[in-house]
Structure 1
Amino acid sequence: MDDSNGSESTSHSNVRNVVLVVLDTARAKSIDKRTTPSLSRLAAEGTAFDNAFAAAPWTLPSHASMFTGTYPSEHGTHGDHLFLEDDLRTLPEAFAENGVQTVGVSNNTWITEEFGFDRGFDELRKGWQYVQSDADMGAVVRGEDLREKLVATRERLFDGNPVVNAANILYSEVVQPAGDDGSDRSTTWIRNWLAERGDDPFFLFCNFIEPHVEYDPPREYAAEFLPDGASYEEAASIRQDPRAYDCEDYDISGREFAMLRGFYRAELAYVDDQIAALRSTLEEAGEWEDTLFVVCGDHGEHVGEHGFFGHQYNLYDTLINVPLVLHGGPFTDGGTRRELVQLIDLPDTLLETAGIDDPKLREQSAGRSLHPESDAERREVVFAEYAAPQPSIERLEARFGEIPDRVREYDRRLRAVRTREYKYVRGDDGFERLHHLETDPRERTDVSDAQPDVVERMRDHLERRFEPLTESDTDEAGTDDVEIRDGTKDRLADLGYL
């Protein structure tokens, strides 16, 4: 693949351990010293990348890209094909087959064995479950009132081990801290795991999902970020249903979006404290100095920007520009790097920093190592893809009946190419937009008609990187090859995906 640097690992001073923390749905524009002081401290002590971009605007394809170093049309995991096939090498596999202990803690239902993400992990823990089980009691958690919770309990209690299911329900309904969607439980589990594990080097992956819809931060965090005059109860009463908002099933006022943005920032502040807790845990275990600690967002979020709520149907920077901070080894006291980088660069970077050369992953990867001593060329452009609508237009029609014409237009594939100066987006239906980012950083004005020479140059970048959009590069089998479990469907619907 022509983005690969093709270089093997060198004799750099290596770290023993690698920790990759994904702040699900964290966008770069909302990261600052007030909202995320722990991450800001980590950036000041390590290396921050100000221009980092995801390869896709939602969880499944973005994680697949991070795990394989490939773009969505290359790994094939997206809205039309929900499974990460085993013909590609994954980052956990590369670590595991080079003698590294591999553990994952996922708080997002997409990142499980059900969708092919368990390969290479010695253990991939489901953070939303108190006792690990194939039966998901999420429907009980989501019940709007006592009646719904009781109905869900009756329907699901005997789906598997009823004792385990009862324990999971008891935890979620009585014991679980208010405003936490699994991150506090995850850091506690990691603390215990570190205390009990052996001496092998380790790779630890952790996804914190709190910034994802629905935003329900602890009250004490929300108070700092809500607009003047807004109460917690008023903000909490706002309906949070991105697909219904897209389909004009209801409206959200400017004031309501301001409150939702306050809730969103409060969620970021909450997981920022979990980053601090995870750091303290590594320090107490004596592992911090030997660990490469990486924090990134997997994609961003629209909270009213461009008329959207959530993270589907487009490739604005609000969705693909994400925070990325590395600390440890050569990334200590590294300052701020402003060149264009991609999350697909992480596999090459993490392996090189750990002193591991994995030929299979290196050869498939379109990534470029960010190691300060790497011989990889720096990027002039970055790319992103939206390979298929998720949920599909058919699913939206099944739920809402007649849908607005503007939503029907989203039934297309999109690709974006971005330089420091321009952003160009093209669809397989002929849609195209060009933005001059230096004068239009919020991507509000399409200048494609006024600058056809730039359009041609940017389109050429896309065509040299990918097959033409007129040729299908999605899986013709569609989604039928993955039968999503009922419990998973409930949880994904709660996250706004179905």
Structure 2
Amino acid sequence: MASQPNVVVVVADTTRVDDAYDAAVAPTLADLADSGTRATRAFSAAPWTLPSHASMLTGTHTSRHGAHAGHERLDGDLPVLPECFRAAGYDTVCVSSNTWLSVESGFGQGFGEFEQTWQAVQSENALSELVDETEERRLRAVGRRLFDGNPVANAANVLYRLLVRGRSDDGAARATSFVEDLLAGRDGDDPFFLFANYLEPHLEYRPPRRLAEEFLPPTASYEAAMDVPQEPWAYLAGGVSLSESDLAMLRGLYRAEIAYVDEQLAALREALRAAGELANTVFVVTADHGENIGDHGLMDHQYCLYDSLVHVPLVFSGGSFEGGGDLTELVSLVDLAPTLLDAAGIDAPAARESFQGVSVHPDADTEPREFVVSEYAEPQPSMAALERNLGRVPDDLRVHDRSLRAVRTDAHKLVWGSDGSRALYDLDADPGETTDVAVDRPAVVDDLTATLDDWLASFEHADADGPVTISGDRKDRLEQLGYLQ
């Protein structure tokens, strides 16, 4: 057995903290938390996949690493967590079901093996255009991309994506199977660092029927729930109307997706046990962001920094985290990198120098945070993309054409907008962030604005100008999926 612990990080994509911490929805996660450490106030650095994953792996915020809707790639300018583990003798593996977390998007740095579950044959050509596209668009995409790179691998991946991969599973089953095979076939005593993304709670919600029927409202049928439109941008633009009953059915489908991911956690834990590795593994579960399902009049996970998007689950199990109970101090997901290095006993001084996070390991000598920051660098989709796809963008939707930063203390949360807006929430009196009290408390607004300004001035910002060069056709398709400005 390795002297250093294995480290396994599972990111349950798009997972709200309130549903994740419901034992009726996620019993495996509840069990891990009960025996380990549950962070009750953990917050994502960003409300969507690309910048949030970049923050977890670099230990820095969006303004520092520069991966966001205006620059759709993690550049190799900063040390990343898997590099630190690899330099310390770890085997480093990533298994991803989200096309943003891909080699193509710059996330291969430091990983010795990178499994992309949407591909039957692994290739740097992510073929992300094939995700959730119409058949006509898929066929056009195939024609354009088949000979980009390895034609044989591309052809195999096209057939897998279009003909084999089940529409009720967004890669979870394959990800779990990959990890099971990896553990069963391990040769040698080197410890491993495994980073896994499970996409399922992401739109569209298509959970297994057996789970959907468990979480849908009593009067709702599975067929009725699956007929509810899942069109977030049309909903925001007023082109799709959803009743309270419709939203309740969507929430039931969404909770069933989280339950499905929880089953994968159980399978991963069992695979670790069967391989004799569980006792020497630090097992971490978190989410890159949450989800709006009608919350604040919004859908999906864009255009805001409400807690429905940035308050995330974070559970540590194994090692020094056993029996830790609830960690109630403020935690940012940028804290994950130094915390995991402490869990593995890895110094990595150069990387630690670049981190903006602080360790929350039980043995770390760090002061509790006074505040956490979340950033939304640019709107995605852009207003131009919405207009191209919807035909018209109502004036009340254009209010989202701005960048946002949020700074949270124990008592308050200030959301700063590049349009000059300032919203302040009293977190004790109004945890649902329904009432803006900025006008009534100008001194608090000024104080938190100064805190945010000082924080922004305290570090070097990323020099990542302009979008990454990608084909116009691919950009249009990704905009239609809500993924590009």
Cα contact 1:47–1:325 (8 A) shared by 2:
yes
C-alpha distance in 2, partners of 1:476/1:103?
A: 27
1:256 aligns with 2:232: no
Q: Is residue 2:368 matched to residue 1:378?
A: yes
Unaligned runs of 5+ in 1: 1-12
CA distance in 2 between partners of 1:69 and 1:296 (Å)? 15
Distance 1:421 1:396 in 2: 36
Alpha-carbon offset, residue 142 of structure 1: 3.7
State the identity as a percent: 49
User: Of 477, 482, 488, which aligns to 2:465?
Assistant: 477
- Which residue of structure 1 lines up, in the alignment, with residue 29 of structure 2? 39
Structure 2 Cα separation of the partners of residues 474 and 244 of structure 1 = 34
Specify whether residues 141 and 459 from structure 1 end up closer, same or farther in structure 2 by C-alpha distance, changes over 3 A only.
closer
Q: Distance in 2 between matches of 1:136 and 1:489?
A: 16
Residues 243 and 496 in structure 1, CA contact (< 8 A), matched pair in contact too: no
The correspondence of residues 229-308 of structure 1 with structure 2, limited to 5 A, is 229-308=219-298
Residues of 1 paired with 2:112 and 2:464: CA distance? 32
**Deviations along 1:335-376, whole A, 9 cap, x unmatched?**
111111010000000001100011121001111111111111
| CA contact 2:99–2:128 (8 Å) conserved in 1 | no
Distance 1:369 1:14, change over 3 A: farther
| In structure 2, distance between residues paired with 1:184 and 1:175 | 13
Tell me which amino acid in the other structure corresponds to 1:90.
V
Separation (CA, whole Å) in 2 of partners of 1:154 and 1:87? 34
How far the C-alpha of 1:176 sits from its partner, in A, is 3.7
Distance 1:374 1:142, change over 3 A: closer
Does residue 193 of structure 2 align to residue 189 of structure 1?
no
Q: Deviations over 1:216-255 (max 9, x none)?
A: 1010110011112211111112221222222223222221
Contact 1:300 1:318 survives alignment (8 Å): yes
Q: Check conservation: 2:64, 2:462, Cα contact below 8 A.
A: no
Counterparts of 2:328 and 2:281, CA distance in 1: 24
Measure, in 2, the Cα distance between the counterparts of 1:496 and 1:120: 25
Q: Would you say the 8 A contact 2:170–2:199 is kept in 1?
A: yes
Change (3 A) 1:63 1:273: same
Q: Report the equivalent of 2:320.
A: 330
Q: CA deviation at 1:474?
A: 7.3
Give the whole-Å Cα distance in 2 for the aligned partners of 1:441 and 1:14. 44
Over the aligned positions, Cα root-mean-square deviation in angstroms equals 2.5
- What TM-score does the superposition give when structure 1 sets the normalisation length? 0.90
Deviations 1:182-219 (A, max 9, x none): 01101101111122222211110000000001111010
Q: How far has the Cα of 1:401 moved from its partner?
A: 3.4
Match of 1:396 in 2: 386
Tell me the equivalent position of 1:5.
none
Q: Is the 8 A contact 2:95 2:115 kept in 1?
A: yes
Report the AA paired with residue 466 of structure 2.
G
| 2:103 counterpart of 1:116 | no
Cα distance, 1:28 vs structure 2: 0.5
Matched, 1:19 2:5: no
Superposed displacement of residue 477, structure 1: 3.0
Match of 1:4 in 2: none
Check 1:386–1:395 CA distance in 2 against 1; reply closer, same or farther (3 A cut).
Answer: same
The normalised TM-score by structure 2 is: 0.92
Larger mean Cα displacement after TM superposition, 449-458 or 42-51:
449-458
For residues 472 and 191 of structure 2, the distance between their equivalents in structure 1, rounded to whole angstroms, comes to 35
Deviations 1:369-400, CA, capped at 9 Å, x for gaps: 11111111111211111111112222222222
In structure 2, the CA distance between the partners of 1:489 and 1:374, relative to structure 1 (3 Å rule), is: farther
1:169 is displaced (CA, Å) by 4.8
Asked whether the 8 Å contact 2:104–2:124 carries over to 1, the reply is: no
